[in-house]
Chains A and B, each alone.
Chain A
């Protein structure tokens, strides 16, 4: 399967700081990238969908000014959690799909802990 690299795998930060998470598709061009949030023992919650070169589409209830998504190229998308607070602590996962393939390949996830 395709390889999706996500960094960092774990980050601990103080409340009020911003955290950037990177997601790269290493061996294919990702037309669409998805960002998910996952709480312990729960399913994946879609936060937003991003297409290269256009603004991300956010799911209802997800603050676009809080979770900034940039999809600047066909191989890179970033999620920035701005002014993080303890309630933002969660496992964040990106996934990618190609132009004609509905298969989704996931990154390894980022565990964010806000103190």
Chain B
């Protein structure tokens, strides 16, 4: 089955800095890669996603890159703000499965 590794487990940055979270996956059949933000006591919220036919996608301060050859994808947050503080999960979905395999999460702390 699919295996998703996510690093780092904790990331601490100063407000205004950039933050990068990296994930690797094992199943070459995976073709959809969503990222979720989870605030304390709440359910995960989809913030951005990318499909395997695209190398990069950007939405305001958030961007995701995908390297299919190396089987890794990354989340980039620029100009971080304290409200970006949360746990971020990457996931990989294999074609036809619709069941995501999640990474273990990254706790992002943005210091004002």
What's the minimum C-beta distance from A89 to chain B, rounded to whole angstroms?
Answer: 14
Is the CB–CB distance between B46 and A103 below 8 Å? yes
What's the minimum C-beta distance from B78 to chain A, rounded to whole angstroms?
Answer: 22
The answer for the CA separation of A41 and B102 in the assembled complex, in Å, is 14
Number of interface residues of B (CB under 8 A): 20
Does A77 make an interface contact (CB < 8 A)?
no
Q: How big is chain A's contact interface, by range?
A: 20 to 34
In this complex, the member of B34, B44, B46, B107 whose beta carbon has the largest number of chain A beta carbons within 10 angstroms is B44
Binding site for B on A (CB under 8 A): 1, 4, 6, 32, 34, 41-44, 46, 49, 93, 95, 97, 102-109, 111
Q: List 22 A-B contacts (CB under 8 A).
A: A4-B43, A6-B43, A32-B98, A34-B99, A41-B107, A43-B102, A43-B104, A49-B99, A93-B43, A95-B43, A97-B98, A102-B93, A102-B98, A103-B34, A103-B49, A104-B34, A105-B46, A106-B44, A106-B45, A107-B43, A108-B42, A109-B41
